[in-house]
Chain A
Amino acid sequence: VRPTWRSIVGALLLALAAGCGPQGPLGILPGGPLWGSAEPGPPDWAEAGRSLTVSLETRRGWLVHSVTVICVEHDGFLYVPSRNAPDKRWVRNVLADPRVRVGVGGRVFEGVAGRVVDAAALEPVARKLLRKYYGLEVERARVLVGPPAPEEQRADVWMFRIGPAGRPS
């Protein structure tokens, strides 16, 4: 096959399409809309909480962006942390438009996401995260809410809570 300018432009358009659609994320690589018709968010997100990772679709205007994230379920909500959150496109999208879709086990669920800044409410979530993803059982784990001080060398971690669409997050 001899590449022509048209095919190169076509390939670039295909590559662009892979980033903005027509499929969800591929491992660490972000993607576009999740395939499949969305169902209303489950009442407890337990299945999503059992998965090691889920796909999270966010939007801003007509641009859709999806990523693979880690999560835990707690008290009927799905919690998703984000390291160095202010730099993440999906975080900025959620702040602009809280409607999300969550892909898990071949199904897509609609939900609403919001940032949680109540450190006390996040303590059990942090302990679940440490247990699930790092194999650590800790007595107390306080989420450091708020940006790190300039001299403080730590990640700016934000926690998002996802509930079914229609249920306040």
Chain B
Amino acid sequence: VRKLRRASVVLASLALAAGLYVRLLAGGPVGPLPGGALSGEPGGPVEDWSFANAHARIAVESRAGWLPYSISTGWFLAHEGRLYLVLPSLFGDGLQRRLARDPAVRVRLGERVHAARATRVEDESELAGMLVPFLRRALGLEVSGSIERLPPQQPGSGVELWIYRIASSS
């Protein structure tokens, strides 16, 4: 029992150390685990984000909390030169809550990190334009005909889709 307890303490310490490493020192998220400040080469302002589609994942950092917070996601799309970030509430609302407090973000595509702002997209025509190519890219679904966004369901029981347009900070 003593050996098992000692091994458990060491395991918990290793897990804590790994968690602290990812959160503070890893230079961004590691796999599905959120990280801290993004590392990478500084990238300049971007007018046309079309190049983003060549990347499988994007890392997004917010500094709204007392520690930088970053996630890595494949849920994004460059459409007509604009960059969209899609956050389903199914994956948690850690970034969405921060963006509501402060829209300033840093995004990393490949090795470059760009300063940007995230603006919630509410315009239905803009959403309709980006959702079809997004669903094809992210879910392998070819959607046609009418698309209607259903009203958000009761908290905790349904899934909401938060969509942001990412634009370079001026």
- From A81, A132, A140, give the contact of B144 (CB < 8 A): A140
Number of interface residues of B (CB under 8 A): 39
Within 8 Å by CB of B7, from A7, A29, A153, A154, lies: A7
Contact of B159 among A10, A15, A133 (CB under 8 A): A133
Which residues of the partner chain A approach B140 to less than 8 Å between Cβ atoms? 83, 143-144, 148, 154-157
Q: Which residues does chain B contribute within 8 Å of A4, judged by CB atoms?
A: 6
> A137 within 8 Å of B by Cβ?
yes
A-B contact count (CB 8 A): 117
Q: Report Cα–Cα, A148/B137, bound state, in Å.
A: 10
- Which residues on B sit within 8 Å (CB–CB) of A61? none
Contacts of A131 in B (CB 8 A): 150
Most chain B CB neighbours (cut-off 10 Å) among A3, A13, A134, A140: A134
CB<8 Å pairs between A and B, sample of 5: A3-B9, A14-B7, A83-B139, A130-B135, A155-B137
Residues of A within 8 A of B (CB): 1, 3-4, 6-8, 10-11, 13-15, 28-29, 52-53, 70, 81, 83, 126, 129-144, 148, 153-157
Q: B residues within 8 Å of A by Cβ? A: 3-4, 6-11, 13-14, 32, 53-54, 74, 88, 90, 131, 135-150, 152-153, 158-161
